[in-house]
Amino acid sequence: MNTLSPLHLIAAATLAATVGIATASPATGPVRHVVLVHGAFADGSGWKPVADILRKDGYTVSIVQQPMTSVAEDVAATTRILDLQSGLAVLVGHSYGGAIITAAGNHPKVASLVYVAGFAPDDGEILGKLSSTRPPAAHSIAPTADGYLFVNAAQFPADFAADLPAPLASFMAISQMPINGKAWGTPFTAPAWKVKPSHGIVSKQDRMINPDLQRFMYARAKARVTEIDGSHAVFLSQPQAVANVIMGAASGEQK
């Protein structure tokens, strides 16, 4: 299977739409709601171990199943779930989901943001170019004939989920959710991390998003950073550690 570099992915993104919503002030008050947004090549079911921990501790958890057909539609799907919350929420995004919470996080019900090995683009940035500034170790992403992106199934376990049991990693490989390649060329605007308290989890063995890029993005967002020994699938391999960061965000922990 042929693979594309991040720069080639940008070139393939022939239709780019600027995405953002109006800036809102940070919300205040007790936070007992959590909204989880999955990343590319995964789906919301991967959040189950984290969600189980949070629910056991009394949090109300909602999981966004965004279509990954465009950035605008993925932001709209996240906003739809935020609209349903009965109170303030912590908005959590893994990987590409981090870019989505960067746009959707200006919603007035969002108290804070948590990036889990996630993209946190700045105003005007596109993910393809941002990723190319500190390239990932993996080179396993390839396009379909209609412009969607997949991770090569044979390489998926090592690149995405190296610290998961082999049967689970293999199942994730064959059940992965593709993403429209145009998302890698869509500019983001009005990043919510400029106005909302942010936390960032660095997955130290990540091969899909360079850990140094994660550190760079979180530093400029002035996020409270936690580094965890884990693959890109850290939400599955280290659910308690990830849940602890989310609960810290909900309690108002700051740097």
Distances (CA, A) of 99 to 2, 162, 217: 26, 23, 11
Percent of the chain with pLDDT over 70: 88
Q: Average pLDDT of the chain?
A: 90
Q: What is the pLDDT of residue 11?
A: 35
Q: How far apart are CA 253 and CA 255, in angstroms?
A: 7
pLDDT tens sequence across 174-214? 999 999 999 999 999 999 999 999 999 999 999 999 999 99
| 31-139+187-250: CATH architecture | 3-Layer(aba) Sandwich (3.40)
In Å, what is the CA distance from 97 to each residue of 13, 36, 228?
A: 19, 9, 18
> pLDDT, tens digit, for every residue of 138-159?
999 999 999 999 999 999 999 9
Specify the residue for token string 């064959």.
174
pLDDT of residue 29: 58
Instruction: Give residue 232's pLDDT band: very low, low, confident or very high (50, 70, 90).
Output: very high
> According to the model, what pLDDT value does residue 30 have?
73
Residue 108: its pLDDT value, please? 97
Residue 21: is its pLDDT beyond 90? Answer: no
Tokens for 90, please give them: 């912590």
pLDDT in tens, 26-67: 445 579 999 999 999 999 999 999 999 999 999 999 999 999
**Domain locations in the chain as residue ranges:** 31-139+187-250
Both tokens of 162, joined, read: 């190296």
